[in-house]
Amino acid sequence: MISEFVLLGLTSTWELEIFFFCIFLLAYAAIMAGNLLIVITVTCDSHLHSKPMYFLLGNLSFLDMSISTITTPKMITDFLREKKTISLWGCMAQMFFLHFLGGSEMTLLIVMAVDRYIAICKPLHYTSIMSHRVLVGSVLLSWAVGFVHTMSQMVFTVTLPFCGPNVVDDIFCDLPLVIKLACTETYVLELLVIADSGLLSFTCFTLLLISYTVILVIVRRGSSGGLSRALSTLSAHITVVTLFFGPCIFIYTWPFSSLSMDKFLSVFYSVITPLLNPIIYTLRNQEMKSAMSRLRTQHTGSQEKV
């Protein structure tokens, strides 16, 4: 039985590894700073803390930080190592949390879409419907969906015997690639993994597409000013949804599969998406920028008093 897996990473060229080390180190620092700033702003600003949309946004930023932390630090340190290895149970833990947090984030995006639907289409009932109890329950539901999603796959994966090849051609432990290394027939389990992840992704994307389409159709029947305000409010959400599901749909519907595409998808979801989300929500949201300005003013004032 093997005790570790070898990760091939992005490249084996030393010059490129140094270049990627610098790029991804800066990217990870930006991910943590940007998402942590959103979490702190939403938590400390009473105006945002009482609004459901920003409560959900704070949870989304927490998930982005967590997903990136599971994969990116290991990837960064591996750029400086000649032998890139990860222990068997470290690999299992990485896959468990990736699917756990990924499934939770997909479900949370649906909750955010429902929140926008109620805010735009039923504004008079928004406060009563999106109460704090409903918000907490929605977030817990998203975490529960992620947990069920990952357990339905990992409960079978951890019992697999690994006694032969241990090379994973990716930047982190990818469930379909690891399953293929098992010393037993895994055809049924591979189908289960594809069906499980594919069904969750397809269901979430379909529900998001329907919800945002319904919002735009309802608003379009009203005034043109209402449509422009709705588009302004929804633009950040639609951009994030497109970034989250767009590459996945493109790659999995592309007729020619390749390892380079798989690695691009791995980098996209572990680095690029968590990096872009805080930029999209802060640059396109005046309330968030105002809250950050108030927070900075309060911090400066407290320092002057000291």
- What tens digit of pLDDT does each residue of 269-299 get? 888 889 888 888 776 677 787 887 887 777 6
Does the pLDDT of residue 128 top 80, yes or no?
A: yes
8 A C-beta contact, residue 123 and residue 68: no
In sequence order, what are the beta bridge partners of 4? 87
User: Residue 131, Cβ neighbours under 10 Å: how many?
Assistant: 11
**Confidence band for 45, pLDDT divided at 50, 70 and 90:** confident
Q: Worst-scoring range by mean pLDDT, 11-25, 122-136, 192-206, 278-292?
A: 278-292
What is the pLDDT at residue 260? 64
What is the pLDDT at residue 49? 75
State pLDDT tens for residues 140-179: 999 999 999 999 999 999 999 988 788 988 888 988 889 9
Burial of 64 (0-12, 13-18, 19+ CB in 10 A): buried
Query: What is the distance in angstroms between the CA of the first residue and the CA of the last residue of the chain?
Result: 61
What is the pLDDT at residue 198? 82
Does the pLDDT of residue 218 top 90, yes or no?
A: no
What is the pLDDT at residue 249? 66
- Sheet containing 167-168: which strands, arranged edge to edge? 85-87, 4-7, 167-168
What is the pLDDT at residue 120? 83
What is the pLDDT at residue 252? 57
What is the pLDDT at residue 296? 79
CA atoms within 13 A on the CB side of 206: 6
What gap in Å lies between CA 230 and CA 8, rounded to an integer?
46
In sequence order, what are the beta bridge partners of 5? 86
State pLDDT tens for residues 238-255: 878 887 777 766 655 555
Q: Mean pLDDT across the stretch 185-205?
A: 87
Q: Worst-scoring range by mean pLDDT, 27-36, 50-59, 182-191, 287-296?
A: 287-296
What is the pLDDT at residue 301? 64
Give the single-character DSSP code of 86.
E
Query: What is the percent of the chain with per-residue pLDDT over 90, rounded to a whole number?
Result: 34
Can you read off the two tokens belonging to residue 230? 């709705």
What is the pLDDT at residue 242? 80
In sequence order, what are the beta bridge partners of 7? 168
What is the pLDDT at residue 276? 86
User: Residue 81, Cβ neighbours under 10 Å: how many?
Assistant: 11
What gap in Å lies between CA 97 and CA 74, rounded to an integer?
14
Query: What is the percent of the chain with per-residue pLDDT over 70, rounded to a whole number?
Result: 88
What gap in Å lies between CA 92 and CA 88, rounded to an integer?
6
